[in-house]
Amino acid sequence: TGDGAAAGSYGYANSGYSVYEEENDRLTESLRTKVSAIKSLSIEIGTEVKNQNKMLSEIENDFDSTGGLLGATMGRLRTLSRGSQTKLLCYMMLFSLFVFFVIYWIIKLR
């Protein structure tokens, strides 16, 4: 009976370990599946980040070229406004001189 009990308990011990090994294998496979899903997700995120960075770089270049064009246009407008202010100042001076001579002529006629 001692040999039979030992053999039976040996079988029981093996079946207990077998249950733990099966559960461990199941959990390992579940973990492997989750890790591979996270890996593929991180690869997709990396690809999306690269695409977004490329688009941001293109937008930045577009804004730089637009800024240069706008700066050149503003420079031209400043040049035009300076020229027109000078002309306006000359017209005001000529008008003032005209008014001054008209007033002088009116006062002299009295």
Mean pLDDT comparison of 1-5, 11-15, 87-91, highest-scoring range? 87-91
Where do the domains of the chain lie? 13-83
| CA–CA distances in Å: residue 18 to residues 4, 13, 14 | 21, 8, 6
pLDDT above 80 (res 81): no
According to the model, what pLDDT value does residue 110 have? 76
Q: Which residues contact 90 (CB under 8 A, 6 or more apart)?
A: none
The pair of three-digit structure tokens given for residue 68, joined into one six-digit string: 């240069």
The pair of three-digit structure tokens given for residue 30, joined into one six-digit string: 């579940």
Q: pTM for the complete prediction?
A: 0.47
pLDDT above 70 (res 99): yes
Mean pLDDT of 48-71: 89
According to the model, what pLDDT value does residue 90 have? 82
Average pLDDT along the chain: 82
List, as one string, the DSSP characters of the chain: -HHHHHHHHHHHHHHHHHHHHHHHHHHHHHHHHHHHHHHHHHHHHHHHHHHHHHHHHHHHHHHHHHHHHHHHHHHHHHHHHHHHHHHHHHHHHHHHHHHHHHHHHHHHH-
Reported as a single tens digit per residue, the pLDDT across 62-75 is 888 888 888 887 88
